[in-house]
Every structure is written in structure tokens, then in C-alpha cells.
């Protein structure tokens, strides 16, 4: 007996909108939600259960024939004043920001 596993032969499968990690590296402590969205260049991912204290971007792309997945995920936390906090002193990219 031969069992076939369902494959999407029409192409890849994606989740979310692709975003540039270079943009995420420009986010700094003290930015507002609106500023972060502007820097990221697109609206955050609509995730059920997301609270007002976070913005989240998720992008995943599945390669159907290589059986692999690429995934990017970034989230930013906001304090009680609606400002980003928790970004390392040297920035997300590991180097000082201008």
C-alpha cells in the first residue's frame, strides 16, 4: 500500500508579510508605537491575544521541495507611557546606533 503525504505543488506557503531586519535595527528605546510601525514599514502581524504592551512581526516561508522553512520574528515591548523599552544599549544589530 502506498501512502501519499499532501504536498502543495503549486509553490511556497507564507505566513505574514516579509519585513527588513535592517529596519528593526533602527528601533530605539523611547519610540512610540506609531514611530515603530513607520520605521518597520508595515503594520505588525495580527496575532490573537497580543496585548497593548507589545508589537509583533512574524514572517515564515516554507520551501515545498526542500522541506525547509525560513522564519523571522521580532517584537517590541512598550512601557506604561507607550514607549519602547528593552532594546540593548548597542542596538538590536549589536552595534551602537547613531
The domain total for the chain is: 1
Residue 95 included in any domain = no
Average pLDDT, the chain: 78
CA separation for the pair 35, 8 (Å, rounded) = 38
Confidence grade of residue 93 (pLDDT, cut at 50, 70, 90): low
What pLDDT band is residue 51 in, cutting at 50, 70 and 90?
Answer: low
- The per-residue pLDDT for 7 is 45
Let me know if residue 28 belongs to a domain: yes
Domain that holds residue 66: 13-85
Q: What is the mean pLDDT of residues 14-22?
A: 85
Q: Is residue 40 part of a domain?
A: yes
What does the pLDDT read at residue 50?
59
Q: Is residue 69 part of a domain?
A: yes
CA distance 20 to 74: 10
Amino acid at each position: 500500500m502506498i501512502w501519499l503525504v499532501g504536498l502543495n505543488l503549486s509553490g511556497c506557503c507564507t505566513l505574514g508579510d516579509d519585513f527588513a531586519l535592517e529596519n528593526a535595527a533602527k528601533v530605539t528605546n523611547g519610540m512610540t508605537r506609531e514611530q515603530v510601525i513607520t520605521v518597520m514599514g508595515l503594520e505588525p502581524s495580527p496575532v490573537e491575544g497580543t496585548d497593548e504592551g507589545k508589537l509583533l512581526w512574524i514572517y515564515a516561508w516554507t520551501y515545498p521541495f526542500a522541506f525547509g522553512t525560513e522564519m523571522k520574528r521580532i517584537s517590541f515591548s512598550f512601557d506604561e507611557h507607550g514607549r519602547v523599552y528593552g532594546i540593548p544599549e548597542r542596538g538590536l544589530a549589536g552595534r551602537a546606533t547613531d
